[in-house]
Amino acid sequence: MRIVAQDLTYTYNAKSPFASQALCGVTLTIEEGEFFGIIGHTGSGKSTFVQHLNALIRLTGGSLKVGEYDLADKKCNFLELRSKVGMVFQYPEYQLFAETVEKDVMFGLKNFAKDMKEEEMKAAVREALEIVDLNYAEIKDKSPFELSGGQKRRVAIAGVIVTKPEVLILDEPAAGLDPLGKKEVMQLLHAIHGKWCKTIVIVSHDMDEISENCTRAAVFADGKVVMEGKPHELFKKGATLVSLGLDVPVTAKICMLLKERGIEIDTDFSTEDFTAKVLALYRRSKEGIC
- Looking at CATH, the fold of the domain delimited by 3-230 is given as Rossmann fold (3.40.50)
Residue 284 to residue 25: CA distance in whole angstroms: 49
DSSP state of 223: T
Q: Tell me, what's the pLDDT at 10?
A: 97
**Alpha carbon distance 270, 193 (integer Å):** 19
Which is more confident, 262 or 31? 31
* 3-state secondary structure string across 81-104: HHHHEEEECCCHHHHCCCCCHHHH
Confirm whether pTM is higher than 0.85. yes
For residue 244, the model assigns a pLDDT of 84
Pairing mode of beta strands 85-88, 61-66: unpaired
Phi, psi of 55 (to 5 degrees): 65, 25
pLDDT at res. 290: 53
pLDDT (tens digit, 9 = 90+) per residue, 171-220? 999 888 888 888 889 999 999 997 789 999 999 988 889 999 999 999 99
- CB contact set of 152 (below 8 Å; sequence gap of 6+): 93, 96, 144
Domain boundaries, the chain: 3-230, 249-290
The model's pLDDT over 44-72, given as tens digits with 9 standing for 90+, comes to 999 999 999 999 999 999 999 999 999 99
Residue 4 has pLDDT above 70, yes or no: yes
**Contacts made by residues 239-245, CB under 8 angstroms, sequence distance 24+:** 241/207, 244/41, 244/219, 245/41, 245/221
What letter represents residue 253's amino acid? K
Name the 3-class secondary structure at 202.
Answer: strand
DSSP lists the bridge partners of residue 169 as 87, 201
Output the average pLDDT for the chain: 91
Q: Say if residues 140 and 125 touch (Cβ distance below 8 Å).
A: yes
The arithmetic mean of pLDDT across residues 72-97, rounded, is 92
- How far apart CA 23 and CA 42 sit, in angstroms, is 13
The candidate with the shortest Cα–Cα distance to 199, out of 162, 164, 171, 152, is: 164
